């Protein structure tokens, strides 16, 4: 049986605005297994980012459990949550969010160095990851000198830098033109499948969703399997 890398149970999240309460997540149950790719689909504004942020330990649920690496991370103190996030979770956003004053290589080295990896080792891993995305000739380029597709490839490489067990991605190719999105998405799936981690990837694109192993949809605050 596949090993679960993440387990969400009865996860709820609401936002209060004035005298109105928006129940975005109403009891999400979800298991992500090692080695599987899962598409998260839902109309805009229904809570995909909220769910990814709670699953990625960037936000707290109001109730429920977020089990990662055998522990309920939702209830841990911030320092321990950060440590789990750093070692277990890679996050890719729709916009690359690379640090503009650092080269592609340095952007991929940084999370490793924050995790305590020696500089020389971090550099080897950065070069290896960027090579997997065909960027061996762009190592010393600043993000501003890269194309949109290249920037997003660097952001994906950065998310994988600390060899996480979970990759979470929020519309990772949503900001690219259709042809580039197609290629970058296939590269992402190839590298993810080659590394054996579990990936939950939000997308509005049905064609991209179909390339993944499973598709789940967020409907009225709960996840349903499609
Ligand atoms: N911090 C917040 N405070 C108040 N409301 C919020 C907050 N974060 C999100 N929301 C609301 O929760 C709902 C879900 O937002 P979320 O960003 O998760 O949607 P989404 O499905 O990711 O949308 P999109 O696909 O457009 O990015 C929206 O109505 C949004 O306005």
pLDDT digits (tens, 9 = 90+) for 192-202: 999 989 999 99
What is the 48 CA–ligand 1 centroid distance (Å)? 8
Structural domains present in the chain:
4-97+148-225 (3.40.50.300)
Rg of the chain, C-alpha, whole Å: 17
Ligand 1 pocket check: which of 45, 169, 200 to mutate, most ligand atoms within 8 Å of Cβ?
45
Cβ neighbours of residue 83 under 8 Å, at least 6 residues apart?
none
Atom in ligand 1 nearest the alpha carbon of residue 47: 18
How do strand 222-225 and strand 37-41 relate by DSSP bridges?
unpaired
Q: Nearest Cα to 189, choosing from 163, 162, 164, 167?
A: 167
The whole-model pTM stands at 0.94
CA–CA distance, 83 with 80 (Å, rounded to integer): 5
Q: Do residues 197 and 166 lie in contact, with contact meaning Cβ atoms separated by under 8 Å?
A: yes
**pLDDT of 65-98, one tens digit each?**
999 988 899 888 888 999 999 999 999 998 889 9
Q: Nearest Cα to 136, choosing from 154, 121, 122?
A: 154
Reply yes or no on whether the pLDDT at 55 is more than 80. yes
ipTM of the complex: 0.94
Atom in ligand 1 nearest the alpha carbon of residue 53: 18
What is the 208 CA–ligand 1 centroid distance (Å)? 22
Name the residue with the closest Cα to ligand 1, atom 5.
15
What is the 210 CA–ligand 1 centroid distance (Å)? 25
Ligand 1 interacting residues, C-beta cut-off 6 A: 15, 17, 22, 24, 42, 44-50
Ligand 1 pocket check: which of 20, 28, 50 to mutate, most ligand atoms within 8 Å of Cβ?
50
CA–CA distance, 175 with 96 (Å, rounded to integer): 9
Query: At which residue do the structure tokens 């993000």 appear?
Result: 143
Tell me how many degrees the CA angle 213-93-207 measures, rounded to the nearest 5.
Answer: 35
Ligand 1 pocket check: which of 47, 56, 60, 201 to mutate, most ligand atoms within 8 Å of Cβ?
47
Name the pLDDT band for 155 (thresholds 50, 70, 90).
very high
């Amino acid at each position: 049986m596949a090993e679960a890398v993440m387990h969400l149970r009865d996860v709820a999240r609401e936002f209060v605005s004035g005298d109105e309460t928006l129940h975005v997540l109403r009891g999400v149950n979800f298991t992500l297994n090692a080695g599987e790719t899962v598409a998260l689909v839902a109309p805009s504004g229904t809570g995909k980012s909220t769910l990814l942020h709670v699953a990625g330990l960037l936000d707290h649920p109001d109730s429920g459990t977020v089990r990662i690496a055998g522990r309920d991370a939702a209830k841990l103190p911030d320092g321990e949550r950060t440590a789990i996030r750093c070692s277990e979770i890679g996050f890719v956003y729709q916009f690359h969010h690379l640090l503009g004053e650092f080269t592609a290589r340095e952007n991929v080295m940084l999370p490793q160095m924050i995790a305590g990896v020696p500089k020389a080792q971090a550099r080897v891993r950065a070069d290896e990851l960027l090579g997997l995305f065909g960027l061996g000739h762009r190592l010393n380029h600043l993000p501003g000198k890269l194309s949109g597709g290249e920037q997003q490839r660097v952001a994906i490489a950065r998310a994988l830098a600390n060899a996480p067990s979970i990759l979470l991605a929020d519309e990772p190719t949503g900001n690219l033109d259709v042809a580039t999105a197609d290629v970058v998405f296939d590269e992402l799936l190839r590298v993810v499948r080659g590394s054996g981690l579990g990936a939950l990837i939000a997308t509005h694109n049905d064609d991209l969703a179909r390339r993944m192993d499973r598709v789940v949809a967020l409907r009225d605050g709960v996840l349903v399997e499609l």
